[in-house]
Each structure stands twice: as C-alpha cells, then as structure tokens.
Amino acid sequence: MNGFFWTCGHLGWGIFALAVFTGLWWLLTDLYWRLNRIKAGRLVATMATGWIVGAGLILLALYVATR
C-alpha cells in the first residue's frame, strides 16, 4: 500500500488517479444533472455506481501493475 500514496518522490499513482477521477466525476455529474433533469435519488444512485466501478477499475489496474 506504500506505493498507493507515495512513490519515488511523487504522489502514488493510485491516490492521484483516484483524486483526478473523483474530481472529474463530480463535475461530470453536475453536467449530467443539468442536461437531464432527473430525480436526485436516481442521479445519486447512477453516479455513485459509476464512481464505484471507476474507482474499482483504478484499484484493479494498480493491483495488476504492481503485482
């Protein structure tokens, strides 16, 4: 888990990718909400599912790369 937060003098790719993905996902959620006025509950469920899948893929990629 060391390489996740910090590696070779810079932020670990895991935390960096998660931070960038989370920020972009947040902004994308806002854009999606403005373009498709859907119910808040449905929006939260959809975007949370998307975030979990994205974060899972990042962690999986990191695991495969550092195995």
Which residues form the interface with another protein (CB under 8 A)?
A: 8-11, 16, 19-20, 23-24, 26-27, 30-31, 34-35
Name the residue nearer to another protein (CB basis): 31 or 64.
31
Do residues 51 and 22 make contact, with C-beta atoms less than 8 angstroms apart? Answer: yes
Q: Which is nearer to another protein, 1 or 35 (CB)?
A: 35
List, in sequence order, the alpha helices (H) in 1-67: 2-5, 13-35, 40-66
- Taking the complex as a whole, the smallest distance from the CB of residue 26 to another protein amounts, in Å, to 7
Tell me how crowded residue 25 is: count the other CB atoms within 10 A of its CB: 17
